[in-house]
Structure 1
Amino acid sequence: MMKRTAKWSVAGLRTGAALAGLMLGHMPAAAQTAGSAAEDEAPGEIVVTAQRRSESLQNVPIAAVALTGANLVQRGVQDMRDLALVSPSLKIDTPFGNTAPKITLRGVGSGSFNLNTETTVALYVDELVMNPVSSKLGQLFDVDRVEVLRGPQGTLYGKNSTGGAVNYITRKPDGTTGADASLTVARYGEYSIQAGAQTGLTDALSVRVAVNRRYRDGYQYNNFTGRRVKDHDDWGGRVTLRYDGDRIDASLKLFADRSRTDAFFINTLGVNADGSSTADGTNPITGFTPSRDIDSVSFDHAPRSDVDNRGVALNLEASLGDLTLTSVSGYLRSIGHISQDQDGSPVDAVATEFNSKADEVSQEIRLASDPGQALSWIVGGSAFHQDLRLNDAFLLPLFGLPPVVLDTREKTTSLAAFADATWKLDERISLIGGIRITTDKKSFHHATGFSLIGPFDIARSRRWTEPSYRVGINYQATPSTLLYLSYNRGYRSGAFDVGFPTTTEQFEAANPEFVDAFEGGIKTALFDRRVRIAADIFYEIFKDQQLLIQRSDPGSICCSLVNAGK
């Protein structure tokens, strides 16, 4: 449904200069291309860091899409969900509002609705991993570019990237003084504002401030409460302080975002005992007859999805002669809340509430050689810790049962060491190879005073140590044509099931998931690089894929997380 009716943008308000005009397209001054980064690149060439070093997208042997900030605004991309419209094979669903988005690449994702779910598509903002499921959607504004990498990225991006990785590279101050802003207006009182400003403080020190606000009134109607629903009220902010010296480039960033939206709505249709639908959709248990109007609903529990994120990150790059030392440090707190009317009616029958609070601390250090050498390499290590607390409530008043309230605490510690290298045999042929060793430890405490299998208070701990790796060969047929073949081994961490408990088997962790990906591709440019073509073919084999399915255990009435074999 197209709702956008008008759009204005003001860009490039420079100190000492008058407003040049009112434009229909946003034109950020810092969209990074190789034309601005290196004189020997073709105009419009996009520089990416898909392999943890700056290089032309056209020379990266990975199936990837890169969009500059200007591209995103011109195509109407306002949040992460819109990326699926401009990036083939990327799909983002929000069945639980912004609290728990489902992200898939090449069809690889997770069907689990548990809030401790390990993702299959890793999300990074300025190389800081955004691991909690409630932290994914709030930071796509004031970006220099977005990179979408398809297929397993386990060597350089670590575990939980069996489907791929998405990188946001935000705009950083460059010592100049200026400001830019954009405004979008649509129906139902909707508006979106993005604005940023920067200035130099000293010769080497500068600062940038960016804000984002999105608002919309509800466009559906709740007959039971007499109020409109399907609204949203989101905002985000970021302050970046940058020191750009002769040998050190360091950026300290404070960020926060908040979302207040409706979760998904259930519109139930009644079924008879034999499984056939009732004539008018009336539910034979509650007696409720739903409206045939899709814009009209009736429920007593307000479905809400609320998210609060805040954090700090420090990116440091130091030149050590022919070597480059990179450090990425970060802290993130992510808080989520979902309340849902599961029966989709004004009858107080079944409702759920899910609350989460995650604290994440991470550190990565890399040392890279001169990329211009015949043998170039990157070595490094990373440490990650997450403390996740969940409080879930299943309300069952229709059945005369007390609430099932689950309290869960899960601590995850992940340590990894990695190395990756490219060996240029000659001007056209190069070999690539890399390996990463990851150790994950998870401690799990799960308790309730009442459930369908009785009260329980359990504690579990598991540790997994697994390798992920890649090998490949590149053939630079012409300066503008690259052919590549590669094999990647991806790894997704094991996980505990925190869903509605109906069997004690759910207390045991699912084992890690693995994928072997074989891929070949070509990237070329025609007509003086005015037309670019990229194509790839891939074949992926999964082992122990983690799936949420109906269990066959006696007494089990719901679904749980299991390994599916090959």
Structure 2
Amino acid sequence: MTDVAAAQDVATQDVRDERGEEGRTLDAVIVTATKRQETLQDVPVAVSVIGQAEIEQSGVVDLIDLQALVPSFRAEQLYSTTNTSFFIRGFGNGGGNTGLEPSVGVFIDGVYRSRSASAMSDLPMLERVEVLRGPQSTIFGKNASAGVVSVVTPKPNFVQKGYVEAGVSNYNGVHTKAFFTGPISDQVAFSLGGSYRKRDGYIDNLELGTKFSDTNRYALRGQLLYTPSENLEFRVIGDVDEIDEACCALINAVEGPTGALVKALGGRIVTGPFDYQTAQNTDPENKVKNQGLSFHADLRLGDVKIESISAVRENRTNNSIDGDFSNLDIFSPLPTDLEIDSVSQEIRASSDYTGPLNWLFGAFYYDESLSQTDLFQHGEDSRAFFEALSGGTGLIGTLEYLSGNVPGTFYAPGTGSVTNYTQNNETLSIFGQLDFDLTDRLTITAGLSYMEDYKSLAIKQSNTDAFSQINLFTVNNGIIPAAFFSSAFQGATGLQATPQNIAFIESVAPGTTAAIQSGVNDALNGLSAFQFMPQLSDFPNGVEGGKTNDSNVDYTLRASYDVNDWLNVYASYATGYKASSFNLTTGTRPIPKDYLRLFANAEPGSVAARLGAGSRFALPEESEAYEAGIKAKGALWEANLALFDQAIENFQATVFLGTSNALANAERQSVKGIEFDGTVSPVEGLTFRASGAYLDAVFDTYTASPEGGDISGTRPGNVSEFYGTLSGTYMWSIKDHDVFIRAEYQYESDVDTERGEGANPVNAILETGETRKRGVNSFSASAGLRVGEIDFTLWGRNLFNDEYPLQNTAAPLQAGSYNAYVNMPRTFGLNARWSF
């Protein structure tokens, strides 16, 4: 855990003023937000930096916990460990659809991580985490239209040192961490670190007596540093980590009209999302293995520095969830197998002249191959559920008989679909930036990047769901509509549907036959909701090429002015870009114009008609941001203020609709706001840090949202108006023992969890439960004591058990019922670290 003395050195340091008297000052924080080493107060970019000491004192273990320390940064983990999305200033995506790459780019030691699953493990040693707000596409090669999270670990040290740590926490949590670094020779040093973390889940599965949302992961990371000369450096980093967890649990938030049917079949609906209880007949499984190797080379030629980062990465993910999220076996466990392999290369050169002009030029290349297989099968209770849903009159059996199928064919256990998606992606970005000092205080920066992004996709499906593949209007020579008509005619007239009787009724009540036929057609069209698994067409095909080839130019213009030695002001304009994304879920459908060409004049009731047009892919995101900021620093305080106006055209949005995910473009989403970050140390050992944000976010234009149609003018879901964090840390010594106490508070104002406000009918349904609004009031604290070389840290997060929903989702095939993901309750623990 935290080396208290070292942590205190990070906060303040003793100095002598110009008169030679001892004083204190806040230590300078070094960042690489512009891919140069600069102090936080000098870099003219809105960036938050969380250092090692603060991370350890706060009990932060992964990027999800980071949102408690950074304003307007939010992390959302939903149905699995791997389904995690990051948001900055209200912009973010990437969950629920592997084909939807995130708008917030994540880099670890300069290596791009394309999916959140590859960024969720513990890191045994951190130097800092930088959160860059606003579009960063000019110098970050891929998917930085909303911002960047950059994780930096320390290089190996030629001074031997390390630590061993162990800890316990509630929910039977245990963890161990260890790190060691030191020299091998005068020119070679290494570091090796590892961690293991295990904790029981905090959501009870009443059906099986098990627990969801646990933690079970390990990580290993090693580095080798070779410095053949003072101007040349090579570094090799290897890492591997594994996750094996039962995450995450959906809890019933609103029980809709179908709840009675579920209960009649022996189902159990557990309401009350903050009772942290559910009932499912299978536990979720999340198994993830990440591994990678990167090679870093730094060469300094006088005032020019050349840097290269080469990396290969591999991700293997196996997820399985209860497809109906109930204790009934409507759907068998739905497994997803995902393989992602990537190669990346970045090379850049930068100058550090004393003259007025400095420059940075570079190129970034990324090559990724992805393969995903999804299995969707009916379970033992599937037929009974759909029979009950259809009215419990034996309709399913009747349709089965009339269509010529043997009894038990429809919704037979084990029938369903197997879908395979393969995607290849190549990206090339060439970028450059010039910094020109017009005066000794005024610097003008101009940056430019050109990016090309190529994707190719293939989809193959094997489908054995018999009911979804028939046309109720035409199967078996149209016997079903004829039988329905005969039944309806006799029910309405008391006569058999013979030609003579039909003619007689028409003679005395013209239009009766047409009205009955219209009712029959409506009934059969209504049954198409039970045929929700139509065969997907192969992709690519004769109409859809299965490829995208995007290119774009982004640029940054910025002016920075040093008013004096302690005050800097800046103004900037920047653009960002994220390429097209494909829908890699069973909700993938041809876009309207392609659908009309593929299935011209599709017969009513046919597979093609029920497949329908939809969202095969989303258009590229294009962002722009205007920003003005002030950065001020005194000996014992510093303060940063940023005002911004940021927008994304064609924001890529995804939503779960009960059995599939839809992918759509919001024509324009924007946010205007203010961000503040400040630190002050009023007396020796005491440091306060406050940060906050005001976000005026809106869908300026969103005319075809999957949630509620036209939701233009509404606030995006889960984007609060006000964010705030406040922390205080006090360090002192008692009889040669270093001690610290720390408290922190996180606030987010109430906001709808779903998009669209009143325009989204889902919000009216959620109003009857507890999960329409999300608001955060969370208090955490920690205390530490050093005895000899051992640091003891007692910590607690969300100590007052603040409760809030993370997201809601439709219950599969249960109209009006909604489930919710909820936040983690109070956690606390004790850690001990021996440093040497």
TM-score interval, smaller chain: 0.7 to 0.9
Residue 125 of structure 1 deviates from its aligned partner by: 0.8
Give runs of aligned pairs for residues 74-473 of structure 1, distance below 5 A.
74-110=57-93, 112-244=95-227, 245-268=229-252, 269-272=254-257, 283=262, 286-292=265-271, 294-350=275-331, 351-370=333-352, 372-397=354-379, 398-399=382-383, 400=411, 402-450=415-463, 452-459=533-540, 460-473=546-559
- What CA distance in whole angstroms lies between the structure 1 residues aligned with 2:563 and 2:141? 31
Paired residues of 1:132 and 1:358 also in contact (CA < 8 A): no
Paired residues of 2:212 and 2:247 also in contact (CA < 8 A): no
Deviations 1:326-377 (A, max 9, x none): 0001011011222111322221013422221100100001011115431111
Residue 79 of structure 1 deviates from its aligned partner by: 1.2
- What CA distance in whole angstroms lies between the structure 1 residues aligned with 2:357 and 2:150? 26
Tell me which of 34, 49, 70 is aligned to 2:53. 70
Deviations 1:427-464 (A, max 9, x none): 21111110110000001011101273325321211111
Runs of 4+, deviation exceeding 4 Å: 25-36, 284-287, 556-559
Change (3 A) 1:26 1:259: farther
- What CA distance in whole angstroms lies between the structure 1 residues aligned with 2:371 and 2:153? 30
Tell me which of 567, 573, 576 is aligned to 1:481. 567
Give runs of aligned pairs for residues 504-515 of structure 1, distance below 5 A.
504-505=590-591, 506=614, 508-515=616-623
Read off the aligned partner of 2:147 and give its amino acid letter. G
Paired residues of 1:521 and 1:536 also in contact (CA < 8 A): yes
Give runs of aligned pairs for residues 512-527 of structure 1, distance below 5 A.
512-526=620-634
- What CA distance in whole angstroms lies between the structure 2 residues aligned with 1:394 and 1:35? 64
Paired residues of 2:623 and 2:646 also in contact (CA < 8 A): yes
Change (3 A) 1:143 1:469: same
Paired residues of 2:129 and 2:151 also in contact (CA < 8 A): yes
Residue 286 of structure 1 deviates from its aligned partner by: 4.5
Deviations 1:491-529 (A, max 9, x none): 011111112236433574322111111111111013x2x
Q: What is aligned with 1:22? A: none
Read off the aligned partner of 1:466 and give its amino acid letter. N
Paired residues of 1:34 and 1:47 also in contact (CA < 8 A): no
Deviations 1:221-265 (A, max 9, x none): 323223333321111111100012321111101101111122222
Paired residues of 1:265 and 1:341 also in contact (CA < 8 A): no
Change (3 A) 1:325 1:31: farther
* Paired residue secondary structure (1:72): helix
Identity %: 24
Residue ranges of structure 1 left out of the alignment (5+ in a row): 1-8, 12-24
Paired residues of 1:34 and 1:45 also in contact (CA < 8 A): no
- What CA distance in whole angstroms lies between the structure 2 residues aligned with 1:151 and 1:535? 14
* Paired residue secondary structure (1:544): strand
Paired residues of 1:96 and 1:305 also in contact (CA < 8 A): no
- What CA distance in whole angstroms lies between the structure 2 residues aligned with 1:426 and 1:34? 32
Paired residues of 1:45 and 1:57 also in contact (CA < 8 A): yes
Range that drifts further, 219-228 or 121-130: 219-228
Paired residues of 1:209 and 1:238 also in contact (CA < 8 A): yes
Paired residues of 1:222 and 1:297 also in contact (CA < 8 A): yes
Range that drifts further, 85-94 or 501-510: 501-510
Paired residues of 1:34 and 1:46 also in contact (CA < 8 A): no
Read off the aligned partner of 1:108 and give its amino acid letter. F
Paired residues of 1:453 and 1:503 also in contact (CA < 8 A): no
Q: What is aligned with 2:662? A: 560
- Relative contact order higher in (CA < 8 Å, ≥ 6 apart): 2
Read off the aligned partner of 1:77 and give its amino acid letter. V
Change (3 A) 1:404 1:150: same
Read off the aligned partner of 2:436 and give its amino acid letter. W
* Paired residue secondary structure (1:53): coil
Q: Which has the higher strand share?
A: 1
Deviations 1:471-503 (A, max 9, x none): 011111111211111011010111111122364
- What CA distance in whole angstroms lies between the structure 1 residues aligned with 2:319 and 2:354? 51
- What CA distance in whole angstroms lies between the structure 2 residues aligned with 1:230 and 1:92? 16
Instruction: Output the TM-score relative to the length of structure 1.
Output: 0.88
- What CA distance in whole angstroms lies between the structure 2 residues aligned with 1:27 and 1:182? 16
* Paired residue secondary structure (2:41): helix
Q: What is aligned with 1:3? A: none
Tell me which of 29, 40, 47 is aligned to 2:30. 47
- What CA distance in whole angstroms lies between the structure 2 residues aligned with 1:161 and 1:393? 32
Residue 26 of structure 1 deviates from its aligned partner by: 8.4
- What CA distance in whole angstroms lies between the structure 1 residues aligned with 2:9 and 2:366? 31
Residue ranges of structure 2 left out of the alignment (5+ in a row): 16-23, 384-410, 466-532, 541-545, 592-613, 669-836
- What CA distance in whole angstroms lies between the structure 1 residues aligned with 2:181 and 2:647? 48
Read off the aligned partner of 1:191 and give its amino acid letter. V
Structure with max Cα Rg: 2
- What CA distance in whole angstroms lies between the structure 2 residues aligned with 1:296 and 1:540? 40
Change (3 A) 1:462 1:128: same
Paired residues of 2:88 and 2:146 also in contact (CA < 8 A): yes
- What CA distance in whole angstroms lies between the structure 2 residues aligned with 1:194 and 1:150? 31
Paired residues of 1:152 and 1:163 also in contact (CA < 8 A): yes
* Paired residue secondary structure (1:488): strand
Read off the aligned partner of 2:372 and give its amino acid letter. L
- What CA distance in whole angstroms lies between the structure 1 residues aligned with 2:351 and 2:162? 36
Paired residues of 1:193 and 1:214 also in contact (CA < 8 A): yes
Q: Which has the higher helix share?
A: 2
Instruction: Output the TM-score relative to the length of structure 2.
Output: 0.60
Residue 98 of structure 1 deviates from its aligned partner by: 2.1
Q: What is aligned with 2:771? A: none
- What CA distance in whole angstroms lies between the structure 2 residues aligned with 1:517 and 1:254? 36
